[in-house]
Chain A
Amino acid sequence: MIEIKDLHKSYQIGKNSLHVLKGINFNVKEGELVSIMGSSGSGKSTLLNILGMLDEADSGSYTLDGVPIKNLNEKIAARYRNKFLGFIFQSFNLINYKSALDNVALPLYYQGMKRSERMERSMSYLEKVGLADWASHKPNELSGGQKQRVAIARALASDPKVLLADELTGALDSKTSYEIMDLIQQINDEGKTILVVTHEEDIAQMTKRIVNLKDGVIIDDSPTKQVRAIQHV
């Protein structure tokens, strides 16, 4: 599903260049649930942003579902993001003047789907994350866990190939975090490929494979025995 070869990325800060990713090689197959770990500043978010086509690598190759991701212009990047990817952020990034349902429906609006169909489909995803009763509520009327559920429903709405989650439990207490991870595991069980960036060991243990980053290189990449989150809820 994801193939990365010798990926490099530097940030230019004034006259200095900060080499953040120093040759990443990494593949993800369909249906995997991978966590990317590493200390702060090790380049986890940078890698995820490149995978999410929110940022571009300096060199190396990236293939997503057989499509080479290279020299994208804004238009094509936007279309690929919409078609291939679902994002889940630490700070939820919901549009605060839109209801939960309208937030979920937004990717479908950009796919050009008709309103009635859009709403119907969004509603089914809200049901899936257990928030059908909260459909008309605005984000500021929801708890952190509920907001993240709405964000997950939104990420799923366009039926993407891959879900990318950056510290999705970073703003949540541990009980809520496990509930969210339970949902992530269910979605993965249905076959969705998911990448989770985290620096929490217990969260990483709930995935199926842990990739360890340090100073811009992968120092460890090994499968792990998945802990089911439901046991901790």
Chain B
Amino acid sequence: MFSIERWQEVFETISKNKLRTFLTGVSVASGIFILVILLGVGKGMQNGVEEQFEQDATNRISIYTGVTKVEYKGMNPGRRIQLKNDDYQFIDENFGENLEYQSSVYRIWGSLASYKNNSGNYRIEGVYPDNQFLENASIIQGRFINQNDLKNKEKHIAIGRKVRDDLFKDEDPVGKLVEISNLKFKVVGVYTDPGGEREETRLFLPITTAQSVFGGGNNISYLAFTLPKEDDYEVALKKSNAFVNEVSTNLKAKHTVAPNDDSAISINNSLENAKQFYDLNNIIRLFFWGVGVMTLLAGIVGVSNIMLIIVKERTKEIGIRKAIGAQPMSIVGMVLHESIFVTTISGFFGLIFALFLLEFVGPFIESEFITNPSVDFNVAISTVILLVISGAVAGFFPAWRGARIKPIDALRDE
């Protein structure tokens, strides 16, 4: 199999049958190319979906209030329910030790912030330090709001990356003063948020400061919590649902809201959305796995088909070789050797071309659903190896059949 003589024979055959070699090579290479690109796109879609869901902590529970819809205990519908600081205290006292992170948020929708000659309209949110984790934000400069800021009602703000880019351009914002409603706030840090620009055009300050300087009194816009992570999705869902039920019942009682009035007090449990995320991710993975297997199968069928045609085309040659003394196994060896050689070379060609494309074009693809398509190199290599092996196995039968052809049958003139 590995004798130099055989290699010379194979090289000679390959180089003197350029068209055949080329066609085989192109079909194998394009098969691998398509497969790898497909795997890459699948990965990109997974990344895209992940990003869509990573805007906030995946196990976040948020409590919003609105207007009552149901008449309850003699009160007419249409009453606006307002969350207050004591609602936060109430949850903290009753459930605090079961929670991972917790924050109440006082939100001012749009406010003009300016630094030197630059200004912009941004959302301002008074929060607790935990809010960083509830938002899934990461600090890239300085720090987030801390407990001291909260206690001392400091006019400290943490700004989003977009805000920094707008107001400060290339300047280092940490320690600088930003003016909002004629008040000066000191920037303590800059954060990024996987939710993207929309989530990065916000300014966070201590809720205590926010309530006092923006006239919020004791009002809260909404509450956000997370429960500690569980390994098992079902367990996590059960615990968080129990928590949601209890909080909902208590808060509704506290505000005299009908137990079934979900528009007055609504609780958004993102773990339930996370279920969709897990499912969607599974579906995508399954889909591309399925398509990949199909492509691979098509590739194998294609390769064996080519081999079959090659052997058929070479029937006469095989007959001649056998008539002048070729052993059946040497015919099998010759056909296999040649085909493995060609599929391996062209397979790697297709692989490298596809990886090249993913590497250099992939990062530029930033649509809503596909982010940074890429493929695990090991997966790609194993795919090529698998294709070559299956090509060889599939090609063995035509080769074997070729070797079985009797020389007189092969040599008979048409």
Query: Could you list which residues of chain A lie within 8 angstroms of chain B, going by C-beta atoms?
Result: 49, 52, 54-55, 74-75, 78-79, 81-83, 87, 89-91, 93-95, 97-98, 102, 106-107, 109-112, 114-115, 154, 158
Contact = CB atoms under 8 A, between A and B. Distances in A.
B5 A74 contact: no
Interface string B297-333: 0000000000000000000110111111111111000
Contact of B325 (A49, A79, A95): A79
A93 B320 contact: yes
Given A79-B327, A93-B320, A154-B324, A109 B408 contact: no
A183 B309 CA distance: 39
Interface of B: 5, 8-9, 12-13, 16-17, 316-317, 319-330, 406-408, 411, 413
B8 A115 contact: yes
B324 A87 contact: yes
7 contacts: A52-B323, A54-B323, A81-B325, A93-B411, A94-B320, A109-B9, A158-B325
A95 B322 CA distance: 12
A62 to B, nearest CB: 16
Given A54-B406, A74-B328, A75-B328, A95 B323 contact: no
The B contact surface, by secondary structure, is: helix
**7 A-B pairs closest in CB distance:** A82-B325, A97-B16, A110-B325, A107-B324, A54-B408, A93-B320, A74-B328
Contact of B5 (A91, A97, A115, A158): A115
Given A55-B408, A81-B323, A94-B320, 8 more contacts: A54-B407, A78-B322, A78-B328, A79-B327, A98-B12, A107-B325, A154-B324, A158-B325
B178 to A, nearest CB: 79
Nearest to A95: B317
A95 B325 CA distance: 14
Contact of B324 (A91, A98, A110): A110
Nearest to A55: B408
Contacts of B326: 78, 110
A111 B326 CA distance: 9
Nearest to B18: A97
A97 B411 contact: no
A110 B13 CA distance: 15
Residue in A54, A94, A112 whose Cβ sees the most chain B Cβ within 10 Å: A54
Contacts of B323: 52, 54, 81, 87, 93
B13 A109 contact: no
Contacts of A154: 324
A49 B319 CA distance: 13
Contacts of A102: 12
A112 B3 CA distance: 11
A106 B331 CA distance: 13
B16 A89 contact: no
A75 B406 CA distance: 12
Given A74-B328, A75-B327, A75-B328, A49 B408 contact: yes
Contacts of A95: 317, 320-321
A94 to B, nearest CB: 8
A33 B259 CA distance: 114
A111 B320 contact: no
B343 to A, nearest CB: 20
Contacts of A97: 13, 16-17
Contacts of B327: 74-75, 78-79, 110
A154 B13 CA distance: 19
A111 B325 contact: yes
B256 to A, nearest CB: 94
Contacts of B319: 93
A83 to B, nearest CB: 8
A139 to B, nearest CB: 11
A75 B403 CA distance: 11
B67 to A, nearest CB: 86
Contacts of A91: 413
B160 to A, nearest CB: 69
Contacts of B317: 95
Contacts of B8: 115
A110 B320 contact: no
A16 B187 CA distance: 102
A54 B9 CA distance: 24
Nearest to A75: B327
A89 B317 CA distance: 14
B411 to A, nearest CB: 6
A54 B409 CA distance: 9
A91 B410 CA distance: 13
Nearest to B320: A93
A91 B328 CA distance: 23
A109 B5 contact: yes
Contacts of B329: 75
A106 to B, nearest CB: 6
B198 to A, nearest CB: 65
Nearest to B16: A97
A83 B325 CA distance: 8
Contacts of B5: 109, 112, 114-115
Contacts of B324: 81-82, 87, 106-107, 110, 154, 158
B64 to A, nearest CB: 78
Residue in B13, B319, B326, B413 whose Cβ sees the most chain A Cβ within 10 Å: B326
A158 B406 CA distance: 21
Nearest to A110: B325
A91 B329 CA distance: 26
Nearest to B330: A110
Contacts of A83: 325
Contacts of A111: 325
